[in-house]
A and B are shown apart, each in its own frame.
Chain A
Amino acid sequence: MAERSFAKEVEKLRLGAGEEFAGEGILAITKALLQCGVGYVGGYQGAPISHLMDVLADAQDILGELGVHFEASASEATATAMLAASVHYPIRGAATFKSTVGTNVASDALANLASGGVTGGALIIVGEDYGEGSSIMQERSHAFAMKSQVWLLDPRPNLPSIVKAVEDGFELSEVSNTPVMLQVRIRCCHVHGHFIAKDNKRPPMSVADALSAPRRDTGRIVLPPASFLHEKEKVAKRWPAAVDFIKSRKINEMFGPDHGSVGIVMQGGMYNSVIRALQRLGLADTYGDTDVPLYVLNAVYPLVDDEFLAFCEGKQAVLVVEEGQPNYIEQAFAAMLHKAGRGTRLVGKEHLPMAGEYTGQVMLDGIGSFLRANAPHLLPGEVRAPNKLGEGVDTADLINVVPGRPPGFCIGCPERPIFAATKLVEQELGKHHIASDIGCHLFSIMPPFELGATTMGYGLGPASASAFNSPDAKRRSISFVGDGGFWHNGLTSSIGNAVFNKNDSVIVIVDNFYSAATGGQDILSSRASNRTKSTRHPIDEAVKGMGVKWLRHIDRTYDVGKVRAALRDALTTEEKGPKVIVASSECMLNRQRREKPLVDKAIKGGERVVKPKFGVDEDICTGDHACMRLSGCPSLSVKSLDDPLRDDPVAAIDQNCVGCGNCGEVADAAVLCPSFYRADVVHNPGRWDRFLESARRAVIGLLQRRRESRRLMFADA
């Protein structure tokens, strides 16, 4: 079950024609898919489209009512391969994943799909994880569209435009027999807005219909000679069809005056930022009415030559606003102008940065600079020659004060003790080469653990350590892979590869029962029962099945001593071949979400419940913070004592502690200090509990009073 439940919101998917939908961008896309009569949907979770998968999963009843099939695909490649259902059958299908990482994984299937082409509309919704808050390498999805020649839509970031893009996307796909990618940027996915709904449509042909009347066409299969024909067909038939559609349906939009000496061309997704810059320059109003001609590319691939050339007609200079690099669009437009022999000056990355997110300030600076250079007459006086509004505040000092706050392990995270154990084992056996993977466990690279040298892709942790396999080696490499990555492709690419190549390394599979980093979606080895999916397939069985002989399973990662012992064994055993440790404990975020309401209810209902929490004896803690260097738990922090005898702050555990046990176990395993204690509160104790308690307290009280009556007692001590 996912971290966030959309059970309530999905009811909005039932809205009918004329009703107003209010909600997140992700939900709007789902609604648009249903309005388009989609026959099947699938995808793989990952920010920023995790919620799209969660919405679909929570909407399965509604999907079922409409006869729409939903797949929680094993990977982005799986999701894209699924679109093969639209090759021969006129069924609309949609796949969604994070880009560019997901698109990388999908590109094998994407290339095959694009070659043969589609009959039913095939839409790939890519969540663009670019710019602030992104967790991946900064690349562009644009290149994938160009190399496979699939069309790329990049709508203006508001709900009506995204919904329209879904509708346009399916039609474009069908008229040009080409899959279409719809790109939505990270903030657009989570934007809250409104649009007027239409009725949902049942797919005219369902996947069940297709199965009962199978079709095939050798000409659509990627094998010579058909594949050579596909290449020609792409440029001779599909491309012109797409350009015609984009032009005739006015997918790209023009704003502002018809004529002007300058103009701005932009990706649709950049429109709001361009308008904001123009607003701040005094050239646009609240509603986007502007004095500058704008050409908005809701379709960024293919580009429409004559549309662009017409826009440039009579303009001295045109600015291309294209986020990311390389600047494919700018290059293409420059070539068009050159070939058409036009004199319009095309500029882009001269005024805007070559790389990096186009933030508000970047846009203001870039567009301001473009206009000052090419159309100063448009600009109000105070923009052309601004009066200095004071020096502002000097923040140089503050930069050295404010600490960075990168994401890290949550309170009570079961992965923390695994890395505490790794740090401890390195203290014994020395530093090792450690390969990391994608997932929450990648936070190990940050303080306080600082473990891990590379991350090469989902499920590829052990694969990325595969070169380190030498008979001369004195030390083994350690690699990590999460359960999400393991099932995504780690089983074959990492484990199978290590077995086959007799890799003598140590592999730790971090199993927290979910694809946790993407929002806690279920996967094959999830322990919970799932109404529509098959779970509870143990990772160790799969690993054994791949041929791993040395396998340890730790079923409570909080046992730091045990994890350390397993790692030590794995690093020192004489046995050859991969040494695999499966370290399992449930993601605390998900566990709390599941258990907390139940526990609260049980306590209220008078049931006996034991609730753990950790604490620190502040007079025993010496303030050396060794515990924090093995934890980093948000709940374990520092506090000042009101005691001039003490210089350094001591450890303190706040109210958010979930009593995971890491503090005590680490203090024990690393022989830190005896200041931690675990306090178990027994709510609604039974008769026996109460009897024991009163007996114990009577004797303990006696002993305490005896000693305390013979010593000096300081009230403030």
Chain B
Amino acid sequence: MLDQASPLRPKPGASDDERVIKLAVLAVGGQGGGVLADWITDVAERNGYIAQSTSVAGVAQRTGATIYYIEMARDTGRLPVFALSPSQGDVDILIAAELMEAGRAIIRGFVTPERTTLITSSHRIAAVSEKIEPGDGRASSEKVHATAQAAARRFIAFDMEKIAADNGTMISASLLGALAGSDALPFTRESYEQAIGAGGRGVGPSLAAFGAAYDRARGVAAAPAGEKAAAEPAVAQPRPTGRVSGPETLLKGWQELAARVASLPEPSRDMAERGLKKVVDYQDIAYGGEYLDRLDTAIALDNAERGYALSIAAAKHLANAMCYDDMIRVADLKTRSTRDKRVRKEVGVKEGSVLQVTEYFHPRIEEFCGTLPAGLGSYIENRPKLAAFLDRRINRGRHIRTDSLTGFAMLWFIGGLRRWRRRLLRHRVEVEHLERWYDLALGKAREDYALGVEILNCRRLIKGYSDTYARAQSKFDRVLSALPMLKGREDAADWIRRLREAALKDENGDMLDGALKTVATLNEGAAR
């Protein structure tokens, strides 16, 4: 194979005027890449260039990755021979309308350090494969940024989607702005703006987005606060210092709890404060006290040499475990005034419009019993015929309008059951589960600190509602079922971490089962 980067050797006598400029656009179907290609072609023609654009329409445009390709050369009176698709190592300007598409362009060899100006929007559109993992399946943006820095002659990246959205238009406008601002093409800003104007539709917003992106690309406008600079890894946000308000007596109680947090070892304080807020918000001050009591047992085992990893993990996962998702919590969250405000903001309800909100509930006998006093709840659960009878009456989808009085009042009432929560069946079950898990973790931590931390972290597996929740429980149990097999192994913590990560890869835990089989074979060698 020839070296990818071998430059086009102009025929002897060919002047720079006859050079062909090659520009490829990689986009996700539906982003408006065709509009961008038309604009670029138009700009080139306005500047006395002959331009040719091609694309692959058809099903490739249905949300899949797609390529538009443009070649242009100064009009010398003769027709150039243009290629119809980009070649590896032979692209001058690569525009990617999404960050992973920039990564794809690099993989495909369309970006070379000697010549390619890579312009990409830094925003992400998660692919289906990234979304369906039960854990966090998203690809690493940092890796693409880092490779792009090295792979391109020039690398221009910022969130062009946001610029477009802020101006009420499509990303094609801000991509064109970034292209113009990059000066990668020998054309004036005015000619770009004329091309947008000639398009005729949504000219105002398009020009605004074009201008904003133009300035960003030239470095005239700074990155807005909050937007990460390119290639800068995500930094943890500073600790929030939220205001707490409420009745005097409760505030007093809160201050006592806050004082307890302040006396905790420094490294664990941040997580403990967050956790405390979560559980107090979930239930009450006393619940916060229980939380700190439980946390104290972890802290008692911990020390500074270990960086208080056990305490931090305990602070985090105890809070999550204590704030299990029951009907009361859902109803409480859905009837708060802050929630109403957030929905209005997200949906963009303008003054003078009316908002109607429909919630989707599907209660089953399990949820119903969980919300009954423990004795009654387990009475029903222990009688399958009765449970089935009741389930037939309960188990169906309910669409509840929380903007209506009856719908709201119903949820408001359920949210009000909070004060009796401790007596309900679900609470009893959750507390038992929590204590089993927590005791196990701390017990193991005494002999193997790291293993204790990993067992705490397994709480991450427990999430979802109904069937998903049941599957999560089963994964949690399966991961911990490896403990006897790992007994006495130095790498036990490592294995539990690996098992947990495998469990987060797919819905049913197939990867986890595979990993468990591996664990089962670990001691075979020794046994033989």
Residues of A within 8 A of B (CB): 47-48, 50-51, 129, 132-133, 135, 157-158, 185-188, 190-193, 271-273, 275-276, 279-282, 284-289, 359-361, 364-365, 368, 380, 382-383, 386, 388-390, 392-393, 395, 397-399, 401-411, 440, 443, 446-448, 517-519, 561, 610, 613, 615, 617, 619-620, 622-626, 628-629, 632, 634, 636-638, 642-649, 655, 664-665, 667-674, 676-685, 689-690, 693, 696, 699-701, 703-705, 707-717
Contacts and interface: CB of A to CB of B under 8 A. Distances in A.
A667 B361 CA distance: 8
Contact of B139 (A289, A403, A628, A713): A403
Contact of A693 (B18, B104, B354, B399): B354
Interface stretch (B203-211, B271-279, B420-428): B271-279
Contacts of B293: none
B100 interface: yes
Among A360, A617, A683, the most chain B Cβ lie within 10 Å of the Cβ of A360
Interface string B33-53: 000001001000000000111
Contact of B245 (A271, A390, A703, A712): A712
A285 B2 contact: no
Given A443-B62, A708-B337, A712-B251, 19 more contacts: A47-B59, A187-B69, A187-B85, A273-B83, A382-B6, A392-B113, A403-B130, A408-B62, A411-B30, A634-B63, A664-B358, A669-B397, A671-B364, A671-B467, A673-B468, A676-B359, A685-B352, A711-B246, A714-B242
Contacts of A676: 359-360
B521 interface: no
A119 B119 CA distance: 56
Contacts of A632: 128, 131-132
Contact of B14 (A135, A285, A709): A285
Contacts, number: 433
A17 B338 CA distance: 69
Interface string B169-185: 00000000000000000
B8 A279 contact: yes
A440 B62 contact: yes
Interface in B398-427: 399, 402-405, 408-409, 412, 415-416
B176 to A, nearest CB: 17
A364 B2 contact: yes
Given A672-B468, A712-B250, A624 B59 contact: no
29 contacts: A48-B56, A280-B90, A360-B87, A388-B3, A389-B6, A389-B114, A393-B151, A401-B143, A403-B139, A407-B29, A440-B62, A448-B131, A617-B333, A617-B334, A620-B330, A625-B132, A638-B138, A643-B274, A645-B271, A647-B135, A665-B360, A668-B360, A674-B465, A681-B353, A681-B354, A681-B356, A682-B353, A683-B353, A704-B335
Contact of A404 (B8, B127, B472): B127
Interface stretch (B342-350, B373-381, B437-445, B484-492): B342-350
Given A273-B83, A628-B132, A622 B463 contact: yes
A383 B57 contact: no
A359 B85 contact: yes
A188 B84 contact: yes
Nearest to A442: B59
A407 B468 contact: no
Nearest to B347: A679
A47 B402 CA distance: 47
Contact of B6 (A272, A383, A705, A717): A383
A288 B254 CA distance: 81
A266 B294 CA distance: 78
Nearest to A388: B3
Contact of B83 (A272, A638, A673, A712): A272
Contacts of A288: 80-81
B138 A649 contact: yes
B275 A398 contact: no
Contacts of A518: 58
Contact of A392 (B4, B62, B80, B338): B4
Contacts of B51: 192
Contacts of B339: 617
Nearest to A280: B8
Interface in B97-136: 100-101, 103-104, 106-107, 109, 111-114, 125-136
A444 B251 CA distance: 55
B2 A286 contact: no
A615 B343 contact: yes
Contacts of A361: 1, 4, 87-89, 109
Contacts of B85: 132, 187, 359-360
B244 A645 contact: no
A402 B468 contact: no
Given A50-B58, A622-B464, A713 B245 contact: yes
A688 B29 CA distance: 42
Contacts of A704: 335-337, 340
B306 interface: no
Contacts of B244: 712-715
A665 B364 CA distance: 16
B59 A680 contact: no
Contacts of A191: 52-54, 84
B477 interface: no
Contacts of A715: 242-245
B41 A619 contact: no
Contacts of A279: 8, 20, 81
A681 B350 CA distance: 9
Nearest to A269: B84
B100 A403 contact: yes
Among B54, B81, B150, B335, the most chain A Cβ lie within 10 Å of the Cβ of B81
Given A360-B83, A403-B129, A680-B355, A190 B56 contact: yes
Please list the 4 inter-chain residue pairs (A to B) with the smallest Cβ-Cβ separation, ordered nearest first.
Answer: A360-B87, A47-B58, A133-B56, A407-B64
B9 A282 contact: yes
Given A615-B346, A643-B274, A648-B460, A392 B353 contact: no
A680 B131 CA distance: 26
Contacts of A665: 360
A207 B442 CA distance: 90
Contacts of B73: 286
B125 A402 contact: no
Contacts of A681: 347-349, 353-356
Nearest to B6: A386
Contacts of B100: 401-403, 405
A696 B130 contact: no
Contact of A368 (B2, B80, B109, B463): B2
Nearest to A647: B460
B58 A624 contact: no
B54 A190 contact: yes
Nearest to A653: B346
Contacts of A699: 405
A431 B39 CA distance: 49
Among A133, A287, A701, the most chain B Cβ lie within 10 Å of the Cβ of A133
A674 B20 CA distance: 57
Contact of A389 (B3, B10, B79): B3
Contact of A615 (B8, B127, B347): B347
Given A364-B87, A395-B106, A717-B242, A664 B399 contact: yes
Contacts of B356: 610, 679-682
Interface string B56-74: 1111111111110100010
B165 interface: yes
A712 B280 contact: yes
Contacts of A613: 347
B252 to A, nearest CB: 11
Contacts of A519: 57
Contacts of A275: 81, 83
Interface string B220-238: 0000000000000000110
B468 A714 contact: no
Contact of A561 (B5, B10, B127, B397): B397
B132 A447 contact: yes
